[in-house]
Amino acid sequence: MDADRLTFACATTAEERVARRLGLSAVRVGVRAVNGVPEGRVVSFGVAGALHDGLAVGDVLDATRVVDAAGATLWEGAPLGVRGARGGVVLASDELVHDAADRRRLHESSGADAVDMESGVLAATGRLAGVLRAISDVPASAIEGVDTTVHADGRTDFTGLVRWLVAKRGRAIRSIRDALAALHALEEVLA
């Protein structure tokens, strides 16, 4: 992968920190890229949720397609060639998909392996060069409410985080641990 001419578009500050630690040119575009998309060729970089049980937390996808819920292709391209990552298809979503039944239904209707909220927006610009996403949660994960822990611009919402931790306790702690494992997996494949 020739990262010199690519900008790694990250939704959150945590994803942006990982990219910068790796020496990559990174921009925090926010959730659904509300902060705007940088000029030039971009890589959708960060975490994603698995849509089927064939993926585990920490698996890294070097996606070759981004699709909508019906399986229509929004973007298609060659893999970035990241050693240790596997091929896959990413579903573009406008909202967090946390229900296991919804995830399996979306997998069946779209053929996608994982879901995120930025790849579709980035694909629409015509400048998407690739998608590199680590699985942070699987269909059985209990992530309901995690969306309240991040501001739309990608910064951590500390009040929302505390409320989520109090409300979900062990489930929230497992979700945080899994997200950290996914971010570590991204670092490992790119180190």
Domains, the chain, in order of start with CATH, read 3-190 (3.40.50.1580)
Q: Is residue 25 within a helix (H) or strand (E), and if so which, with residue range?
A: none
173-181 long-range CB contacts below 8 Å, 24 or more apart?
Answer: 174/141, 174/142, 175/136, 175/137, 175/141, 175/142, 175/143, 175/146, 178/57, 178/136, 178/137, 178/141, 179/14, 179/47, 179/136, 179/137, 181/57, 181/58, 181/136
- Quick: pLDDT tens for 36-79: 999 999 999 999 999 999 999 999 999 999 999 999 999 999 99
Q: What is the mean pLDDT of residues 161-184?
A: 94
